[in-house]
Structure 1
Amino acid sequence: MSATQASSQQADSKAPADIIGQLQRAASAEEFFQLLDVAYDPNVVNVARLHILKRMGQYLAGEDLAGLPAAEATARCKAVLERAYADFVASTPLDQRVFKVLKDAVAPKSPRAPAFVSLDALK
């Protein structure tokens, strides 16, 4: 095995960490789309950028990228971003309710017993 092949093989074994590292260093949602070469509508991203990235993270949590070659790890990340983006093209952040605050806004409220103060306690 030549030094070039060994270097290439070593780079492939680090690939998931490399693409994940690049994504972690990205400063904006647009950079995610550019790094992974995913086409997007700026209007959708402007409205749902945090929601898209949060959903991407949820989807990535279910992926096992360890030991994958660079091209495959990047392709999986791209597919996950495309899937997350598609969720918000088809519906709104309010419909998707990715964040806890939005989930809690529609969660059924548990009925509370009315506060009761007996007349004897008022003396």
Structure 2
Amino acid sequence: MSETLKALQTLSSAEDFFKLLEVPYDADKVNVVRMHIMKRMGQYLATEDLDGLPDNIVRQRCRTTLERAYEDFQKSDPLKERVFKVLKEAVQEKAPPAPPPVVPFSDLLK
């Protein structure tokens, strides 16, 4: 595992990621959407094949994914991006409730 990935695993705040990867950020914006940015970065990193790459390349790719995730929430908001399951499910159309069973009138007379 690259040194950059090892270092990222030890971090405890979104700001630490921005600082380590040297990505400029607006602290006010990060305070509001930190979990969304970090989740999106993780989604982007999951698509990257970093095995066996030199650390400088791994670091650059991590930086690029963080920049991309941060930019997603500069142009949009969590409700539009829907990175978390609860937000995804909030817009799924629910099936209409089943109509009540029909009981024939003749059954009521028995």
Q: TM-score range by the shorter chain?
A: 0.7 to 0.9
2:36 alignment partner in structure 1: 51
Distance in 2 between the 1:115 and 1:27 partners?
A: 52
1:112 alignment partner in structure 2: 97
Deviation at 1:22, TM superposition (A): 1.2
Quick check: 1:78 aligned with 2:60? no
- TM-score, normalized by length of structure 2? 0.88
Q: Which one has the bigger helix percentage?
A: 1
AA partner of residue 89 (structure 2): D
1:9 alignment partner in structure 2: none
Distance in 1 between the 2:102 and 2:86 partners?
A: 33
Distance in 2 between the 1:111 and 1:24 partners?
A: 45
Runs of 4+ that moved beyond 3 A: 114-121
Distance in 2 between the 1:116 and 1:84 partners?
A: 50
AA partner of residue 27 (structure 1): S
Corresponding pairs, count: 106
Unaligned residue ranges in structure 2 (runs of 5+): none
Structure 1 residues 117 and 42: CA distance shift in structure 2, 3 A: farther
Structure 1 residues 115 and 32: CA distance shift in structure 2, 3 A: farther
What SS does structure 2 have at the residue aligned with 1:82? Answer: helix
Q: Deviations over 1:15-45 (max 9, x none)?
A: 2xx2112111101000000110000011111
AA partner of residue 23 (structure 1): L
Q: What is the percentage of aligned positions where both structures have the same residue?
A: 56
- TM-score, normalized by length of structure 1? 0.79
Deviation at 1:66, TM superposition (A): 0.8
Deviation at 1:116, TM superposition (A): 3.9
Q: Which moved more, 1:109-118 or 1:29-38?
A: 109-118
1:5 alignment partner in structure 2: none
Q: Of residues 61, 72, 89 in structure 1, which corresponds to 2:46?
A: 61
